Structure 1
Amino acid sequence: MSKKIIIIGGGIVGLSSAYFLSKEGHEVTVIDKSDMSTGASFVNAGYITPSHIIPLASPGMIAKGIKMMFNSASPFYMKPRWDTDFFKWSWYFHKSSTKEKVTKAIPVIKDINTLSLELFEGIKTSGDLGDFQLERKGLLMLYKTVEAYRHEKDVASKAAFLGLEVNELDKKQLARLEPEVAIDAKGAIHYECDAHSTPTQFMPKMISYLKNVGVDIRTNEEVLDLKLKGRHIQEVFTSKSNYKTDEVVLAAGSWSGEIAKKLHLNVPLQGGKGYSINVARPTGVTIPAILMESKMAVTPMEGFTRFAGTMEFSGNNDFIRKERVIAIANGAKKYYPNIDINENEMANVKTGLRPVSPDGLPYIGRSSKCANLTFATGHAMMGWSLGPATGKLVSEVVDGRNISMNIEPFSPDRRFK
């Protein structure tokens, strides 16, 4: 039976949810407070990464954050501030960062990433969006030190055990694989299972497709309140209108926690700011890479190469710290000595906020306290990679159909202890 569904949030997760829900015949409205041309879904590294099996909340991360707290140019930066929500989230993050919890999370993260890659490929094959970049060249983890190699070797062993394609490359093999660009690295771990895309190409095509099939997309419209009767949301109030609804999907990224509070729901989230610089000159880079010691990503996209990185916890704002931009340019230079990111390219840096849960796993599924609310947020650095999978899972939850995978670990009601 067709339902009226409001999706709050027009990023990759919200649009993917609209994509799969509309295919089931539902009347879908997407509401976003921006013009849907900026944000994390447009400035990310474009990775679809089954290899990213380790959640952000892993042993030692809080210690690193505290150590780097007073260095605003560090890859992982937590701005000192008085914020009770941030204090609680930090404590939950600390409690989640155990070896046991990471071990439990690994196969779950692998499964949802693998599902999402299949769905990306399905969207491309369907022709719904026309042609768009989706290349499966894998991901290079470039390292300069023995310590970084040993760390990634351990991750690669876990990935291989789970059936993912992964290889080791020495300096000569790396040069043969990337002959058009000089790389200063001892070697690389090559995750052949990964793919990449161009977000600024995919997103407009998805928006256009959704409009053409009747999805109502409302931009520059902020959700102000939700009318709750018993355990059901009856109406959504925005800065421009109000909407009666049968179902609500909360996919508002880093702002999802604030919207959940309007329903008296506690969903711990913090916005982790990322930066990206586009270089529209030929760089010679043909395979996506993560520069391990610099902790940044490089992606050959349609028409440019993107250099992206950093995780900054400083509140939900778009303030640009110049020292962090310079750190990305310098980090790239250390691995690609012939690539100089110039002042103009740095001046055009973009930022986006990634919604980070305390344990690094997304929130996907029904709220036990609100019967017609489905969460789809908290994906941290895997938002782009997990967009289609989340959309598919959301459609299955809303329709009460068999779920493609076990989503219990993603429960929005889970406790962090």
Structure 2
Amino acid sequence: MSKKVIIIGGGIIGLSSAYFLQKEGHNVTIIEKSDITSGASFVNAGYITPSHIIPLASPGMIAKGIKMMFNSASPFYMKPRWDTEFFKWSWYFHKSSTKEKVDRAIPVIKDINILSRELFEDIKTSGDLGDFQLERKGLLMLYKTKEAYLHEKEVADKASFLGLEVQELDQKQLERLEPGVAIDAKGAIHYECDAHSTPSQFMPKMVTYLKDIGVAIKTNEEVLDVKVKDRRIHEIKTSKETYTADEIILAAGSWSGKISKKMGLDTPLQGGKGYSINVERPTGITIPAILMESKMAVTPMEGFTRFAGTMEFSGLNDLVRNERVMAIANGAKKYYPSVDINTKEIANVKTGLRPVSPDGLPYIGRSSKLENLTLATGHAMMGWSLGPATGKLVAEIIDDKKTSMNIDAFSPDRRF
């Protein structure tokens, strides 16, 4: 049965949800506060990463955050501030950062990433969006120190045990695999299971396709109020209009927590800011890499190479901290000595806010408090990777179908 569905949020999660819902015959409207040309869905590293099996909330992360709190150039930065919501989230994050919880999360993260990789491939094969970059060259974890190697080797062993394709490379093997650029690293762990894409290419194509098949996309429109009665959302009031629908999908990224409060819910969520620099010159880099000690990502995209990184918790803002930008530029130089990021490229840095739940797992599922609300947010650094899978799961939830995988771990009602 066709339903009238409103999706709050026009990032990769919202667009992917619209894509699969429309294919099931639903009448879909997307409400987005921006013009869908910027933000985390455009400036991320473009990774599709079954290898990212360890959630952000893992043992030792809070200690690292406190240690780095007074260094605003550090890869993981928590700005000291008086914010009760942040304090509460931090406490939940601490409680979630246990070995037992991480071990339970690992197979679930792997499964949803593999599902999403397959769905990216299905979208490519369908021709719905025309041609777009989707390459499966894997992901190199480049390391300079034995400590970094041993840390990643532990993750690689777990990934291999779960059936993911992983190889260890020494310097000579690395040189043969990536001959076009000098790499200053002792070696790499190559996750052959991973793929990559160009978000700024994919997103406009998806927007165009959705409009062509009848999805209404309302841009520059902010949700101001939500009318709730008898455990249902009856109206959504925006800066331009008032809407009614059978089903509501909350996919507003880092702003989902604030909007959920308008619905009478408490959804612990913080925006984790990332930065990215594009180099629109040949770099010789052909395989995506994570520079382990610098904790940053490098991706050869369509027409440019992207250098991205950092996780900054400083509130919902787009302020640029120059010291963090320079940390990315300097970090790239340490691994790719022949690659110089110039001042113009540094000045064109972009930021995006990734929605981070306390345990690093997304919220995907119906709210127990509101019968016609489904949440699809909180994906942290895996938002791009998990876009299609989340969209598919949302459509299955709305249609009351058996979901493609068990989503109990993503329950919006889970306790921390």
TM-score range, shorter chain: over 0.9
Q: For residue 330 of structure 1, what is the aligned residue in structure 2?
A: 330
Q: Deviations over 1:63-113 (max 9, x none)?
A: 000000000000000000000000000000000000000000000000000
Q: What's the offset of the Cα at 1:228?
A: 1.2
1:255-404 superposed matches below 5 A: 255-404=255-404
- Structure 1 letter corresponding to 2:410: F
Q: Deviations over 1:283-315 (max 9, x none)?
A: 000000000000000000000000000000000
Inter-partner Cα distance in structure 1 for 2:122 and 2:223 = 32
Q: For residue 233 of structure 2, what is the aligned residue in structure 1?
A: 233
Q: What's the offset of the Cα at 1:339?
A: 0.5
Inter-partner Cα distance in structure 1 for 2:340 and 2:124 = 34
Inter-partner Cα distance in structure 2 for 1:225 and 1:169 = 54
1:6-405 superposed matches below 5 A: 6-405=6-405
Q: What's the offset of the Cα at 1:169?
A: 0.2
Q: What's the offset of the Cα at 1:215?
A: 0.0
- Structure 2 letter corresponding to 1:34: S
Inter-partner Cα distance in structure 2 for 1:340 and 1:157 = 34
Could you say what secondary structure the match of 1:132 adopts?
Answer: coil
Same amino acid, percent of matched pairs:
82
Q: What's the offset of the Cα at 1:234?
A: 1.4
Q: What's the offset of the Cα at 1:226?
A: 1.2
Could you say what secondary structure the match of 2:182 adopts?
Answer: coil
Inter-partner Cα distance in structure 1 for 2:246 and 2:237 = 14
- Structure 2 letter corresponding to 1:267: T
Q: Deviations over 1:115-152 (max 9, x none)?
A: 00000000000000000000000000000000000000
Inter-partner Cα distance in structure 1 for 2:153 and 2:395 = 37
Q: Deviations over 1:148-201 (max 9, x none)?
A: 000000000000000000000000000000000000000000000000000000
Q: What's the offset of the Cα at 1:35?
A: 0.6
Q: What's the offset of the Cα at 1:221?
A: 0.1
Q: What's the offset of the Cα at 1:265?
A: 0.5
Q: CA RMSD in A?
A: 0.4
- What is the aligned length? 416
Q: Deviations over 1:223-275 (max 9, x none)?
A: 11111120111111100001111000000000000000011111000000000
Inter-partner Cα distance in structure 2 for 1:128 and 1:67 = 47
Inter-partner Cα distance in structure 1 for 2:230 and 2:254 = 27
Q: What's the offset of the Cα at 1:410?
A: 0.2
Inter-partner Cα distance in structure 2 for 1:243 and 1:355 = 25
- Structure 1 letter corresponding to 2:185: A
- Structure 1 letter corresponding to 2:349: V
Q: Deviations over 1:314-371 (max 9, x none)?
A: 0000000000000000000000000010100000000000000000000000000000
Q: TM-score, normalised by structure 1?
A: 1.00
Q: What's the offset of the Cα at 1:30?
A: 0.3
Inter-partner Cα distance in structure 1 for 2:186 and 2:325 = 25
Structure 2 unmatched runs, 5+: none
Inter-partner Cα distance in structure 1 for 2:166 and 2:133 = 22
- Structure 2 letter corresponding to 1:336: Y
Inter-partner Cα distance in structure 2 for 1:121 and 1:70 = 43
Compare 46-55 and 258-267 and name the one that shifted more.
Answer: 258-267
- Structure 2 letter corresponding to 1:332: A
Inter-partner Cα distance in structure 2 for 1:32 and 1:295 = 31
Inter-partner Cα distance in structure 2 for 1:226 and 1:391 = 23
Inter-partner Cα distance in structure 1 for 2:229 and 2:347 = 49
Inter-partner Cα distance in structure 2 for 1:6 and 1:412 = 19
Q: What's the offset of the Cα at 1:38?
A: 0.2
Q: Deviations over 1:28-63 (max 9, x none)?
A: 000000011000000000000000000000000000
Could you say what secondary structure the match of 1:129 adopts?
Answer: coil
Inter-partner Cα distance in structure 1 for 2:398 and 2:81 = 39
Inter-partner Cα distance in structure 1 for 2:228 and 2:215 = 24
Runs of 4+ in 1 over 3 A off after TM superposition: none
- Structure 2 letter corresponding to 1:159: A
Inter-partner Cα distance in structure 2 for 1:229 and 1:84 = 28
Q: What's the offset of the Cα at 1:403?
A: 0.5
Inter-partner Cα distance in structure 1 for 2:263 and 2:284 = 50
Inter-partner Cα distance in structure 1 for 2:229 and 2:80 = 40
